[in-house]
Structure 1
Amino acid sequence: MRQGPLAGRYPAVAAMVVFALVPYLALSAALGPITPLIARELGMSPQAMSITLGMANAGYAVGTVLAVQFAQLLPQRRMLLVYGVLLLIGSVLTAAAVDPAMFIVGHILQGLCTSLLLIAAVPPLIIGYPASRLRTTAMVMNVCIFGAVALGPVVGGVQASSHGWRPLFWIIAGIAAAALVLSLLTFQETPPANPGARIDYAALVLATVGCVAAFFGASELLSHDFVDPTTIAPLLGGLLLIVILFVHEYRTERPLLCVGSLLSTLPVAGIVAAICAAAASVSAITLTLTSLARHETPMRLGLLYLPEFGGAVIAAVVFGSAFRTRWLHYFVLAGMGFLTAGILVMNGSAPPTSTLTATGSGLVGIGVGASVVPALFIAGFSLQSTNVQRVFAIIELLRAVAAFMIAPVLLYAATTFSGGLDSGTRMALWICFALAVAGAVAAVALYWLGRVRPPAPSVEAWLSGERPGWDSPPLFARFRTGGDPRDACP
């Protein structure tokens, strides 16, 4: 069996995952202050830039489903190399872009390939090593996904202060190249997960058309009214197709995604918390960044959000100690509390002051770091570890739709508010606060309705693939008997 010289070496594999995920996730949060520079140099209108960023986010969402399908039918580590090559090509195209076409194609490739790498590379890192490594993996995932996003405003502010954008994109290309090299060095032949599986064409079409349409509609809010057919038709139509995707995956006999298996108390509560936390946090940061951009230099504005990264790191360290205990469930609830507190602090004045912004961003960093990835583990422990790739795909698809679609809608509401941008931002931040509170309340209610006493996961048994990490009661078990969650994943 062919393998690279560093195959099986945990530090090298973990570094490969970090380098594969960080570029696009950090870049997506860094583009705000440098978007006008890119548009001006490449001759792109603000609306064209908005659609480009929206289609890259759509590619990220679609890639979660494509990665699961490819993993079923094709050698998984070979596909990891393909994804790495495409990510590098996309990164070079954006950095070297001389016209809009190069930048558009490159950035969409970056979004698509990042989620392909995420779904292909992270699950083997979780289940491919002894239980003693899982604590480090949990911390790496948390810092990768949310630490990178939290650093985005700082990186974007530093780059914008130099009145350029290409150096940042060339650094991103260099990181993508390092990820590809590490993929080669850690290569280990892995067969398809299920070579006899059928291609779920319905799921692929619904996910692709739904995400592209929904993100296109959200992107059009920059220059169109919400009720304009150009905006509302694709936005609502795309969301409807995504709903149909999950209904189809629940009803079909051999689904690509584990929708049926996730319909029990613990995974549903975890997913609800993750979606609400992602939507509230990304929207709150986007809104305050936009409001403060008129009052602060890019460098100073970026530094105001540096505490968010510190908060994400703190949450990751504490998560490493809590995730194997029953305190994992309370940790997620505490994270939602920190998130709501951070939004309240940032909403203390209009526009937010420097002190309120820095303090609030730190609390938001702790909150989102303590809620989304931990909630992912709550869902993952509820199924056998062999299905973690599909669970991860579902959560990342929903997180992407919640985080990257609700923010443009709330930003549109803030900018068109009759009282002005500052008043509109405060109104939109109250909606973010309501989303975070609703996520926490809904999760607690689901636990109560399911008669759940928060359990500690049996990590060793879960990693063996023999059974879930814990037994998740049926939804609303307090009012019914029987009704075990449907096992829809072969």
Structure 2
Amino acid sequence: MRQGPLAGRYPAVAAMVTLALIPYLALSAALDPLVPIISADLHMTAQQMSLSAGLGNAAYAVGTVLAVQFAQHLPQRRMLLGYAVLLVVGSVLAASAQNAGMFIGGHVLQGLATSMLLIAAAPPLTIGFPRDKLRNTAVIMNMCVFGAVALGPFVGGVQAESQAWRPLFWIVAAIALTALILAALTFDDAPPADPDAPRDLWAIALATAGCTAAFVGAAQLTTHGFGDMAVTGPMLGGLALIVALIVYQFRARRPLLTIRTMLTSSIPVAGVGVALFAAAASVAATALTANVFLLSFSPVQVGLIYLPELGGAVVMAVVFGIVISRRAMHYLPLVGMALLAAGILVFRLSLPGNQPLALLGSALTGLALGATVAPALFVAGFSLQSNSLQRVFAIIELLRAVAAFMVAPIFAHFAATAADDLVTGTGIALWIGFGLSIAGAVFGVAVYALSGARPQTPDLDLFLDGESPAWYSPPLLARLRGLPAPAPEAEPAPAAAPPPPSFATDSPGPVVIAYDGTERAAAAITAAAAALPPGRQALVLCVWQPVDVGFTPADGRHLEADKAAEVRRSAEQTAAYGATLAAEAGFAVCSKAVEASPTWHGIVATAKEHHASLIVLGPHRRNGLLGHLQGSVAAAVVAHTDIPVLIVPQASSLVAVGD
């Protein structure tokens, strides 16, 4: 499989994910103080600016569904490169905009590309590396989403102070370009997840029409009232279409999104519910109070008021990384909702301009954001098999976008019209946000209590292996419905692993033949047999990877890449088929399938474990500049081992590399 020079290196992949998600999410939170400046420069009305934000957020929501669909039928890592290119194009278009059309188009592309990058890159980062990296991933995911959002008001305030907006947008474009470069350098080719899956055009159509209508309707509140059909028609119609999407996916035989699994299990429902309440309530704690503080402070001073929010998010991201492997993980979202309620209450007391209280409210809100949405997302994800993680992320981000981004203009309109002045109206809206945070905590506790769910220590090894969820989640409302909610059944003792292939100690070490099911790999077996003495002992090795597969199944069938148990079995069958070819070629052969990422690491480690005397490879190669950036498995193996390597680039030629 084609790979980049940094493929499988956790720091590089984590940096790529971070840089891919930061631009749009930080920019969305930074726009408010820049709206007057952008409007004046591009001759845009307030309604056009609101429409730009609404369409960008709608594109973010729709992108979650599109990314899941594309992953089924198109090469996943190549699509990730495409999404990164789209993010760069959108960022450049917005930064260089000369009119409203260019700006809105660029912002829409930014939102669409960001959510698609999140769905394409985050699950492999979570389950594609060993367990000891999961803690770091939890911190990174928390900071990518909520750290970026918390940083937004400060960045926007600093930029607004200079009465300019393009420098910030060009910085965002530069970050997006860096993410694209890292996406190329960390490229690790992967086949589609399930080419036989249905193309669910109805799901895409419902998501697109529903999100667009709902967000456009909410955006109309800038110049219209709640009773105007320009608002209520699109909003209610869009929400009805989103509900129809959920019902349709719940009833579908082969759904694109795992709605049925999530909505019938208690812990996922609790996790998703808490995430939605937190997303909606947090709007009141940030966007609304910022509008009031701008009456008393400069934009940069307002930005500094919200800087403790970033500090709180950092602290709670670290806490989340610590508890992700512990029973306490279940309690973190509940603590977060309590902190959010406290933060909103302190913000209410700080109006119209008590700076010390505002700083305290900002810190509490940052702690709350870091403790709620990302932990709730993982609580839901751990309740299902790891092969569902991509779809879980997609569902939660789709619903969270609706809860947060659509509620924001509704709250803003309510604060501006509910009373005679903005301060009083914002105070009323804050009380509503306070009520939402309390309701979210009560909802989560009630779902656990009425379902018989209990906090449990996650079995991360079982989860990452794809064998089962990290813990047991009883049926939704099992106690209320009179259903038994038994404790999880004891897992049967795993079958003893087959002994590793053994070779005579008085003979040279075995030849390790990397076999990935391709014709080139089969040709390498034949060529190696012709070049070596007959009867040499050989170990045919097939390396597989969760999510990315990493080989071509011997029986030619398509695998659903995120079903790790199925992929492992197919890898074992593929290795056995390769061993049959090697035996026919004259080797004394054994076979083995190994899970490793990147592929070269599994080859090198296995060769070292069995004291191999030679490694045989039949690598793939792509022409062009990107092909050189991606590198190859063969080059990585040669660079990381002292064992001689026999490379068969063509059926008729051999290249020996070694000491």
SS in 2 for 1:389: helix
Name the residue aligned to 2:641: none
Q: Is the 8 A contact 2:77 2:190 kept in 1?
A: yes
Q: 1:455·1:470 contact (CA, 8 Å) conserved in 2?
A: yes
Gaps of 5+ in 1: none
Q: Does the alignment pair 1:88 with 2:88?
A: yes
What corresponds to 2:534 in structure 1? Answer: none
Larger Rg: 2
Q: Which residue is equivalent to 1:224? A: 224
State the shift of 1:482 in Å.
Answer: 5.2
AA of the residue aligned to 1:339: L
1:354-373 superposed matches below 5 A: 354-373=355-374
1:169 alignment partner, SS class: helix
Superposed CA deviations along residues 212-244 of structure 1, whole A, max 9, x for unmatched, are 000000000000001100011001110111011
Instruction: For residue 425 of structure 2, give the secondary structure of its aligned residue in structure 1.
Output: helix
Say if 2:418 is the partner of 1:406: no
Cα offset, 1:283, TM superposition: 2.9
**Quick one: which amino acid aligns to residue 361 of structure 1?**
S
Q: Is 1:50 equivalent to 2:46 in the alignment?
A: no
3-state SS of the aligned residue for 1:419?
coil
* 1:481 aligned partner: 483
Segment drifting more, 282-291 vs 349-358: 349-358
Deviation of the 1:357 alpha carbon: 1.3
Quote the residue 2:326 is aligned against.
Answer: 325
Post-superposition Cα deviations, 1:433-485, rounded to whole Å, max 9, x if no partner, equal 0111000001001111011221111001000001111110001111322599x
The alignment status of 1:158 with 2:150, answered yes or no, reads no
Q: 1:102 offset after TM fit, Å? A: 1.2
Render the CA deviation track for 1:1-58: whole Å, top value 9, x for unaligned: 2111000000000000000000000000000001111111111111011101110000
Normalised TM-score (structure 2): 0.73
Partners of 1:78 and 1:283 in 2: how far apart? 39
Q: 2:124 aligns to what?
A: 124
Task: Give the aligned partner of residue 606 of structure 2.
Answer: none
Whole-Å separation in 2 of the counterparts to 1:390 and 1:67: 10
In the other structure, the counterpart of 2:593 is none
Amino acid at match of 2:168: L
How many angstroms does 1:419 deviate by?
3.0
Q: More deviation in 121-130 or 417-426? A: 417-426
Give me the TM-score of the superposition, normalised by structure 1. Answer: 0.98
Higher relative contact order (CA 8 A, sep 6+): 1
Q: Give 1:368 deviation, angstroms.
A: 1.1
1:439 partner amino acid? G
Q: Deviations over 1:118-147 (max 9, x none)?
A: 000100000000000000000000011000
Q: Which moved more, 1:17-26 or 1:91-100?
A: 91-100
Which 10-residue stretch deviates more, 344-353 or 464-473? 344-353
**1:370 shift after superposition:** 0.4
Equivalent residue, structure 1, for 2:347:
346
Distance (whole Å) between structure 2 residues aligned to residue 483 and residue 386 of structure 1: 24
The verdict on how the C-alpha distance between 1:349 and 1:14 changes in structure 2, with shifts beyond 3 A counting, is closer
Q: Which has the higher helix share?
A: 1
After TM superposition, the structure 1 = structure 2 runs for residues 67-216 of structure 1, keeping only pairs within 5 Å, are 67-216=67-216
- What amino acid does structure 2 have at the position aligned with 1:425? T
Residue type of the alignment partner of 1:168? L
Q: 2-side partners of 1:472 and 1:357: how far apart?
A: 40
* Secondary structure of 2:349 counterpart: coil
CA contact (8 A) 2:350 2:358 kept: no
User: CA contact under 8 A between 1:335 and 1:367: conserved in structure 2?
Assistant: yes
Question: 1:184 offset after TM fit, Å?
Answer: 0.3
Greater shift in the superposed pair: 347-356 or 241-250: 347-356
Do the aligned partners of 1:29 and 1:149 also contact (CA within 8 Å) in 2?
yes
Q: Which amino acid aligns with 1:397?
A: L
Displacement, 1:186? 0.4
Report if aligned partners of 1:283, 1:406 keep a CA contact under 8 Å in 2.
no
Q: Which amino acid aligns with 2:239?
A: L
User: SS at 2:297's partner residue?
Assistant: coil
Give deviations 1:38-93, integer Å, cap 9, x for gaps. 11111111101110111000000000000000001100000001101111011001
2:375 corresponding residue in structure 1? 374
Structure 2 distance, partners of 1:173, 1:324, is 36
What CA distance in whole angstroms lies between the structure 2 residues aligned with 1:388 and 1:10? 19
Paired position in structure 2 for 1:270:
271
1:302 aligns with 2:303: yes
- Which whole-Å deviations, capped at 9, do the CAs of 1:270-328 have from their partners, x for residues lacking one? 11101101111123201101111111100101000000000000000111111111101
1:470 and 2:450 are equivalent in the alignment: no
**What residue is the counterpart of 2:419 in the other structure?**
418
> C-alpha root-mean-square deviation of aligned residues, in Å?
1.2
Instruction: Single out whichever of 127-136 and 324-333 deviates more from structure 2.
Output: 324-333
Cα deviation 1:192-215 (Å, max 9, x = unaligned): 111111111111011000000000
**Partner secondary structure for residue 477 of structure 1:** coil
Match of 2:512 in 1: none
| SS of residue matched to 2:476 | coil
- As a proportion of its length, which structure holds more strand? 2
The CA distance in 1 between the partners of 2:484 and 2:3, in whole Å, is 48
SS at match of 1:441: helix
Counterpart CA distance in 2 for 1:430 and 1:187 is 48
Question: 2-side partners of 1:144 and 1:452: how far apart?
Answer: 30
Decide whether the 8 Å contact of 1:75 with 1:192 is kept in 2: yes
**Structure 1 residue 256, shift from structure 2 partner:** 0.3
Partner of 1:460 in structure 2? 461
What amino acid is aligned across from residue 233 of structure 1 in structure 2? G
Q: Is the 8 A contact 1:288 1:352 kept in 2?
A: no
Q: Give the letter for the 1:441 counterpart.
A: V
Q: Aligned equivalents of 1:231 and 1:476: distance in 2? A: 36
